[in-house]
Amino acid sequence: MAAYIAGAAFCAPIALNAQSVPPRPRSRPDRDTFSEIGRFVERTGTTGEVGVSEINLESGKIIYKRNQNKSFAPASALKVFTALYAMKTLGPSFQYSTHVLTDGSIKNSQVMGSLYLVELDDPMLDTDHLFALVKEVKAAGVRSVSGDLFYTGQKFPRISQIDPLQNLQARYNPSVSGLHLNLNRIYFEYNKSMANKELQLDARGRGVFPKTKIIKISSIRYQSLVYGYTETADKEM
């Protein structure tokens, strides 16, 4: 790219600011872990099934096991390992950044070329960040662009959902693409009063709520159905 117009690191460092706590004693391989974990499960009143497999990393000896061969859905517990891996690999001071570049020059407040939104895999990029970036471009003296606007990730294959066994429209089952914006989610709001019903869809950030054009919503008379969802090649309803 010939010129760098604007860029900002939007996300806070992925640092886990630990509280000051006394150091915990190292576990002993011969400790009676069975009764310790058993008492914990009973004390917390945990319902359902619990699976535990505790291994001494130095000796490889299994210290405690309970339903160790049973399959469980790990769910959010995997976030712990993801966070630890990110801390070790990227470091506590790492920041994601998003930039606007151009392949031309700026003459009389016009970019003589195209603009490129270079988003470096920022998972927390939202409409508020984009609005701030637009203001930076404007502050650089840009008022118009002769070319087009491109963004990174356009060649990335689109995955419509994370888990096909979950509801396609569930907020925890978003699509995956080369550019993540607002966690790839659309905000749906329903307000009902005595006079009317108000339905709203937008790409909601913390302060910027742009309307969406590829998703449509409408209300129908149906007693038992809370909502329905359909998807076509070019829109969702």
pLDDT tens digits for range 182-204:
887 788 887 777 777 778 888 88
Residues 6+ apart with CB under 8 A from 59: 29
Say what the pLDDT of residue 143 is: 92
% of the chain at pLDDT higher than 90 = 14
Task: Say whether pLDDT at 158 is over 50.
Answer: yes
**What is the reported pTM?**
0.59
% of the chain at pLDDT higher than 70 = 81
- Region 6-14: what's the mean pLDDT? 42
Say what the pLDDT of residue 85 is: 92
More confident of the two residues 172 and 100: 100
112 touches 104 (CB < 8 A): yes
- Report residue 16: phi and psi, to 5°: -100, 100
More confident of the two residues 101 and 189: 101
Task: Say whether pLDDT at 79 is over 60.
Answer: yes
Q: Which long-range contacts (CB under 8 A, 24 or more apart) does 37-46 make?
A: 37/64, 37/66
What's the rounded Cα separation, in Å, for the pair 233 and 1?
A: 34
Residues 6+ apart with CB under 8 A from 148: 114, 115
Average pLDDT over the chain, rounded to an integer: 77
